[in-house]
Amino acid sequence: MQLQILSAQNLPSSSSPLTQRFFVKVELLSEGKVLLKRKTKVMKSSEGQIQWGEVLHLPITNQDQNLQLAVKLYGRGSVRRKHLLGQVLLGFDSSSTEAVEQWRDSMANPEKVVTSWHRVSRL
């Protein structure tokens, strides 16, 4: 499976004169255990938005039924400390019906391109 991280919007602005940077980390989960991690490049936001356009390759087939993807948005300040801003869980038992439908469609039709915006849940 290929997961393309296109962009993020409505990002928080930094109160310090130093710019905050952002990245997305994707974790492939099975029964709550992390099997694989991938992340995007760290980038600066411009007017609360970032354009990544990165493709992350994940070894998932449509036979893998018990998997979930945790897509997490992080901010990183000048001290290199990362802060989790929110996440979206993609899988059959996701809390969002849209995420469940997207996952079901991706598993049933792995060659199909599924494009969707998701609102990250704040933690």
pLDDT digits (tens, 9 = 90+) for 57-85: 888 766 666 788 899 999 887 667 888 88
Q: Give the span between the Cα atoms of 20 and 7, in whole angstroms.
A: 16
Whether the pLDDT of residue 9 is over 80: the answer is: yes
Task: Calculate the average pLDDT of the chain.
Answer: 81
User: What pLDDT score was predicted for residue 27?
Assistant: 93
Whether the pLDDT of residue 14 is over 60: the answer is: yes
Residue 120: name the closest of 90, 100, 91 by CA. 90
Note the pLDDT tens digit of each residue in 50-59. 999 888 888 8
Whether the pLDDT of residue 90 is over 60: the answer is: yes
Note the pLDDT tens digit of each residue in 105-115. 877 877 777 77
The residue with greater pLDDT, 24 or 117, is 24
